[in-house]
Amino acid sequence: MAVIVTGATSFIGRAVVEKLLKQGQKVYAVARPGSAGLSFLKALPLNGQEGRREGAVGSVRILECNLNEIERLKEMDITDASAWLHLGWEGAGSANRQDPALQAKNIGYALSAVRTAGALGCSRFLFSGSQAEYGICDSPMREDQPCHPVSEYGKDKVLVCRQAGELAGQLHMDYIHTRIFSVYGPGDHPWSLISTCIDTFLKGGHMEMGPCTQQWNFLYVTEAAELLVKLLLGKAPAGVYNVAGEDTRPLRDYIEELHRLCGSLGSYHFGDRPPNAEGMVSLMPELTKLKAAVGFTQQIPFSEGIRRMVQEKKGEI
């Protein structure tokens, strides 16, 4: 079995590729030409040769291709792909989430990926959606509830869910739409909340934040990758699935714990900093459907994930 992964050099994409390799899968890793993450892919086991990463037993074939030309994959001698995991999305950062022109392009990219997957003989397709699809909620977020996204990013992910699901059905593929909540871990963007806090605190700096009273949920990146792979390659029925951790609590509790794990270095203040593009969102994922599909139980608590990141960061300082 071979799996195509678009967005293979992204934060979650790298963890997904490594998880697939450890399972002995052949991976077609699709990345933008010139991507800074290509060096990561080139350090993995290529074309069945033994790689330099411990525990990696599968193989990777790197395919350099932009999202707007994804149908070129039909010309790249791929004859054994049975599943496709689509993590590619332009403008996912907070600064671009309200750009309608940029966000709308991604709908076409996703539909092109579905059509290409069908042409290559894939039977399952997984798309990486977002909790931003739900909008602002004051109760647990269930996969079957109406979505009321407030950002262009969330609105277009909802459109992909409907349109790609319909197209996949016409092509006789199972379509799995994941709504991913807040994922953290080594390799995350340096401007993410967790990365910024760790870097600032360890240097003795100060963080000025919003009130952080909303409910939040974090999931370590390797566990997120494992869930995506299980949903794609296991027996999970087609449909929508929340991908999140089991620990939901006020965001300020997480910040206070993170500060302690950084040795109480630096300082922070909960104040009036403006929220991001989605507004003051509370993350309260309902995980009943996910647990039934893959038997999920969170293994890496927030404290352990932060310890790993702090240890890595201290090694860089």
**The pLDDT of residue 21:** 94
User: The whole model's pTM is what?
Assistant: 0.93
Residue 63 lies inside a defined structural domain of this protein: yes
Residue 92 lies inside a defined structural domain of this protein: yes
- Statement to judge: residues 234 and 274 lie in one domain: no
**The pLDDT of residue 58:** 86
Question: Token digits for 167?
Answer: 């197209």
Residue 297 lies inside a defined structural domain of this protein: no
Mind listing the pLDDT tens digit for each residue in 107-145? 999 999 999 999 999 999 999 999 999 999 989 999 999
- Tell whether the model's pLDDT for residue 96 goes beyond 60: yes
- Tell whether the model's pLDDT for residue 49 goes beyond 60: no
- CATH number of the domain encompassing residue 230: 3.40.50.720
- Statement to judge: residues 115 and 264 lie in one domain: no
Residue 260 lies inside a defined structural domain of this protein: yes
Between 217 and 100, where is the model more confident? 217
Residue 165 belongs to what H/E stretch? helix 152-170
Residue 91 lies inside a defined structural domain of this protein: yes
Question: Rounded to the nearest 5 degrees, what angle is found at the Cα of 104, between the Cα atoms of 101 and 107?
Answer: 160
- Statement to judge: residues 144 and 180 lie in one domain: yes
**The pLDDT of residue 46:** 64
Task: Tell me the residue range of the domain where 311 lies.
Answer: 193-215+248-284+302-316
**The pLDDT of residue 279:** 65
Residue 158 belongs to what H/E stretch? helix 152-170
* Total of domains in the chain: 2
At 54, the pLDDT band (50, 70, 90 cuts) reads very low
Residue 259 lies inside a defined structural domain of this protein: yes
Instruction: Quote the CA–CA distance of 291 and 308 in Å, as a whole number.
Output: 26
- CATH number of the domain encompassing residue 204: 3.90.25
- Statement to judge: residues 160 and 14 lie in one domain: yes
Mind listing the pLDDT tens digit for each residue in 24-36? 999 999 999 988 8
Mean per-residue pLDDT over the chain, rounded: 92
At 100, the pLDDT band (50, 70, 90 cuts) reads confident
- DSSP, collapsed to helix, strand or coil, labels residue 226 as helix
- Statement to judge: residues 39 and 165 lie in one domain: yes
Residue 227 lies inside a defined structural domain of this protein: yes
- Tell whether the model's pLDDT for residue 97 goes beyond 60: yes
Instruction: Quote the CA–CA distance of 131 and 141 in Å, as a whole number.
Output: 9
- Statement to judge: residues 149 and 259 lie in one domain: no
Question: Rounded to the nearest 5 degrees, what angle is found at the Cα of 61, between the Cα atoms of 31 and 185?
Answer: 55
| Average of per-residue pLDDT across 308-314 | 92
- Statement to judge: residues 175 and 149 lie in one domain: yes
- Statement to judge: residues 240 and 265 lie in one domain: no
- Statement to judge: residues 21 and 129 lie in one domain: yes
- Statement to judge: residues 134 and 198 lie in one domain: no
What's the full length of the chain, in residues? 317
- Statement to judge: residues 140 and 58 lie in one domain: yes
- Statement to judge: residues 222 and 278 lie in one domain: no
Q: Which residue has the tokens 């909008």?
A: 135
CA dihedral (278, 280, 286, 287) in degrees, to 10, reads 70
Instruction: Quote the CA–CA distance of 278 and 176 in Å, as a whole number.
Output: 24
